[in-house]
C-alpha cells in the first residue's frame, strides 16, 4: 500500500505520498480557490478532463518537491474548468494555498476512450508517418505536444531525417541549429490510422510541407 504522512495544513489535508503511482500524468493545474468552503478550480490541460471527474484521488506536485495525494469529495465541470472539494480542506485560505500546483492522475485510472478517440497523452512520443514527393511513406518526426485550436487537436511534430538512405534517423535542424517543427491537424482529412501499440500515426501529410 502507498505510504502517506500528514500534509502541512491539517491532519486530513492532502498528504505527502512517499510511493506515488509510476504512471502519473499531469492533467491540469489548480487555478484558484472556489467558494468559501475549501473548493478549488482546476484548469485542465486538454478538453479531455474525464479523468479529473472519475478518479477518487488526485496527486499534486510542483517542480521537484514532494508529491501530495488528495482524496476528492466531489468534482464537476464548471465551463471549461473543473471544480472540486478535497477531504480536509475546509476554507478558502487552505484551498488557495494549492494555487499553481500541478494535478496528476494515474494513466491507468483514465476511463476508456470512445471508439476512434485517443487521449492526447497517448499520442505524445508516437512517430508520424507522412508521404514524400513520390507518395512513398516516410517518417516525418515524433509528436512532442498536442494542443487544441478550438476546432480540433493539433500535433506538434519535431522533424527527423535519415542519416543515410535507409539509415538511422536524426533531428532535422534549421539554419539556427534548432529542431524543425511542423503542426499537423489531427483530423480525418490527414490522419489515416493510429497504432498505439506500435507508437505510430499514419498520415497523408507531405514531407516537404
Using 50, 70 and 90 to split pLDDT, how confident is the model at 162?
A: confident
With a cut of 50, say whether residue 69 has pLDDT above it.
yes
The string of pLDDT tens digits covering residues 124-161 is: 999 999 999 999 999 999 999 999 887 889 999 999 99
Asked if residue 164 and residue 86 are part of one domain, the reply reads no
Cβ within 8 Å of residue 36, ≥6 positions away? 91, 92
Residues, the chain, total? 209
> Mapped to the 3 state alphabet, what secondary structure does 169-181 carry?
EEECECCCCCECE
125 and 196 belong to one structural domain:
yes
Q: How many domains does the chain have?
A: 2
* Residue among 162, 102, 110 at smallest CA distance from 136: 162
- Structure confidence by residue, pLDDT tens digits, 105-130: 999 999 888 888 899 999 999 999 99
User: Torsion angle of alpha carbons 117, 122, 126, 132, nearest 10°?
Assistant: 20
Pick from 57, 82, 53: nearest CA to 69: 57
Select from 90, 109, 128 the last residue of a domain.
Answer: 109
| Percent of the chain topping pLDDT 90 | 73
Domain end: 50, 76, 109, which one? Answer: 109
* CB-CB contact of 146 with 46 (8 Å): yes
Residue 164 phi, psi (nearest 5): -150, 160
Domain-embedded: residue 114:
no
User: Whole-angstrom Cα distance, residue 14 to residue 50?
Assistant: 21
Amino acid at each position: 500500500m502507498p505510504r502517506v504522512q500528514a500534509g502541512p495544513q491539517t491532519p486530513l489535508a492532502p498528504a505527502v505520498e512517499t510511493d506515488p503511482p509510476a504512471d502519473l500524468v499531469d492533467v491540469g493545474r489548480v487555478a484558484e480557490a472556489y467558494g468559501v468552503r475549501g473548493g478549488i478550480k482546476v484548469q485542465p490541460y486538454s478538453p479531455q478532463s474525464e479523468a479529473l471527474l472519475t478518479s477518487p484521488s488526485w496527486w499534486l506536485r510542483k517542480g521537484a518537491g514532494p508529491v501530495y495525494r488528495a482524496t476528492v469529495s466531489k468534482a464537476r465541470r464548471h465551463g471549461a474548468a473543473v471544480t472540486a472539494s478535497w477531504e480536509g480542506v475546509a476554507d478558502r485560505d487552505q484551498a488557495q494555498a494549492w494555487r499553481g500546483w500541478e494535478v496528476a492522475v494515474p494513466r491507468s485510472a483514465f476511463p476508456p476512450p470512445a471508439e476512434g478517440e485517443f487521449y492526447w497523452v497517448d499520442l505524445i512520443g508516437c512517430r508520424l508517418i507522412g508521404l514524400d514527393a513520390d507518395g512513398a511513406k516516410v517518417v516525418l518526426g515524433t509528436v512532442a505536444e498536442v494542443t487544441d485550436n478550438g476546432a480540433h487537436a493539433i500535433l506538434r511534430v519535431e522533424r527527423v531525417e535519415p542519416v543515410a538512405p535507409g539509415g538511422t534517423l536524426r533531428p532535422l535542424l534549421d539554419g539556427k541549429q534548432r529542431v524543425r517543427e511542423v503542426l499537423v491537424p489531427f483530423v480525418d482529412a490527414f490522419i489515416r490510422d493510429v497504432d498505439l501499440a506500435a507508437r505510430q500515426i499514419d498520415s497523408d501529410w507531405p514531407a516537404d510541407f
